Amino acid sequence: MSNWKKRLRAGALALAALALAAVPYCPQAQEGGERQALGGAKIPAGPYVALTFDDGPKSATTPVLLDGLAQRGVHATFFVIGENVEGNELLLQRMEGEGHQIGLHTYHHKMLDQLNAAGFYEEVDSLRTTLTALVGREEFMLRPPYGMMNAATQARAAAPIVLWSVDPEDWSDRDTARQVSVILDNTQDGDIILLHDIYPASVDTALQVVDALMARGFHFVTVEQLFAIRGKTPENGEVYRRLPPPSE
Ligand code: NI
């Protein structure tokens, strides 16, 4: 059994908790729309969405986001930069402890398709080693900076590669109202939303989106949980943009 499969199976308990917490929001589940997940936990039919945050952590903004997510009982995925982890180690441990997923975004935010093998391993393996020492796990998904990658990146990744399907380009204007409307207009079951937890406006966007989509019946899960819900094992070197329901 692959390490990812083991992790997903271990995650089934968390999914069962999610199902219990989610029942009031899920009329479909109450009508028998639920199904068996990995490990036999019953999970609601969805819709599901994964919030992902790149380029952090940042001491001024990430804790505000973590507080807001905790208040809402929502878990997200953070693709962190190694040099930003330095000095924010406790923040990383808080993320892991509160049930968020941590992923790789290189040590210095480098374009992976521009690196030779040695450069790639320096950027990715050094961060993996740092994170393993901090949070005690070894498997991390990879998001290439700018989404830039090629066949060599895939061959070297030693991790599933997670891109995104909803991108409000939050770095471009820091305009929460515009970002929220782009996300609400475009998000469907199985989407992966890209934001950056280094801007106050993006933190506001994220929390407003959580409230609005939860009111529409969406469940927020980590990317790893989204795989488990779909009954899919992430494969190293494969590229994932969204994980649609089987009916799509
Ligand atoms: Ni980035």
**Closest-CA residue to 83 (of 105, 108, 103):** 108
Which residues are part of the catalytic machinery?
54, 196
Residues near 14 by beta carbon (within 8 Å), at least 6 away in sequence: 99, 225
**Structure confidence at residue 8 as a pLDDT band (50, 70, 90):** confident
2 pLDDT more than 70: no
Helix (H, G, I), strand (E, B) or coil at 219: strand
Q: Give the number of other Cβ atoms within 10 Å of residue 132's Cβ.
A: 13
Q: What is the mean pLDDT of the chain?
A: 90
| 148 Cα–ligand 1 center, Å | 10
**Structure confidence at residue 189 as a pLDDT band (50, 70, 90):** very high
1 pLDDT more than 70: no
Of 19-28, 164-173, 196-205, the one with minimum mean pLDDT is 19-28
Sign of CA dihedral 132, 135, 140, 146: negative
Write down the pLDDT at residue 32: 39
Residues near 190 by beta carbon (within 8 Å), at least 6 away in sequence: 46, 47, 48, 49, 165, 226, 230, 242, 243, 244, 245, 248
| 75 Cα–ligand 1 center, Å | 20
Mean pLDDT of 225-238: 96
Mean pLDDT of 189-199: 98
Write down the pLDDT at residue 7: 75
Residues near 97 by beta carbon (within 8 Å), at least 6 away in sequence: none
pTM of the entire structure? 0.89
Write down the pLDDT at residue 23: 39
| 57 Cα–ligand 1 center, Å | 11
Is the separation of the CB atoms in 204 and 191 below 8 Å?
no
Q: What is the pLDDT of residues 74-108, one digit of tens each?
A: 999 999 999 999 999 999 999 999 999 999 999 99
| 70 Cα–ligand 1 center, Å | 24
DSSP 32: I
Q: Could you give the CA distance from residue 60 to residue 242 in angstroms, rounded to a whole number?
A: 30
| 53 Cα–ligand 1 center, Å | 9
Q: Which of the pair, 45 or 155, is modelled with greater confidence?
A: 155
H/E stretch holding 51 reads strand 48-54
Q: What percent of the chain has pLDDT over 70?
A: 85
Is the separation of the CB atoms in 22 and 44 below 8 Å?
yes
19 phi and psi, to 5 degrees?
A: -60, -45
Q: What is the pLDDT of residues 16-64, one digit of tens each?
A: 555 544 433 333 333 334 555 555 566 777 899 999 999 999 999 999 9
Write down the pLDDT at residue 25: 37
| 171 Cα–ligand 1 center, Å | 10
